[in-house]
Amino acid sequence: MEVTFDPCQPLVVDVAPEASEEELASIEDALDMWNEIADTRLTTRDLEFAERVSVGFDEAAPLFYGVYLPDDGEILINEVMSGRHRRAVVVAHEIGHAFGMWHVEERTSVMNPGNTSVEPVQEDIAYLEELWGSCVRAPAAPDTPTP
């Protein structure tokens, strides 16, 4: 059974314990990319009620950057890839697959095959909305003045 995650719901990203500090920073950057532009709820903090996707690192051929394994709900990133931002973009790309997104070739997108530089863009948000509908959050309650 293929696993896809609703971008409107909280999603915990479980990072492999052997991940380096730079790999962990890249994952955090990728989550920030999605959370800032798409208002997703990606986090590495443990939330009991949330679904989970794991991110691990393994050695692969240099031109292989990452893969989303939909049967396992797992993302694997090539550990020999250098550069925090490049790695973050690849993680963001694979998260796109976890949301059910496919490769896009007709426009600039985080979902371009082989992408290591383009972060999620507005057109990617429109793509998510085509798949899942709009997930606009209710505005936060205003601060109540203290008497």
**In contact, 110 and 52? CB cutoff 8 Å:** no
- Amino acid (one-letter) located at 67: V
User: What is the pLDDT, as a whole number, of residue 1?
Assistant: 66
10-132 homologous superfamily:
Collagenase (Catalytic Domain) (3.40.390.10)
Distance of CA 143 to the CA centre of its chain: 31
- Amino acid (one-letter) located at 43: T
Q: Is 142's pLDDT higher than 90?
A: no
**In contact, 28 and 19? CB cutoff 8 Å:** no
pLDDT in tens, 29-86: 999 999 999 989 999 999 999 999 999 999 998 889 999 999 999 999 999 999 999 9
**In contact, 10 and 28? CB cutoff 8 Å:** no
Predicted model pTM: 0.90
**In contact, 70 and 82? CB cutoff 8 Å:** no
Sheet holding 66-69, edge to edge: 41-43, 10-15, 51-58, 74-78, 66-69
- Domain residue extents for the chain: 10-132
User: What is the pLDDT, as a whole number, of residue 52?
Assistant: 95
User: What is the pLDDT, as a whole number, of residue 139?
Assistant: 47
Confidence label for 140 from pLDDT (cuts 50, 70 and 90): very low
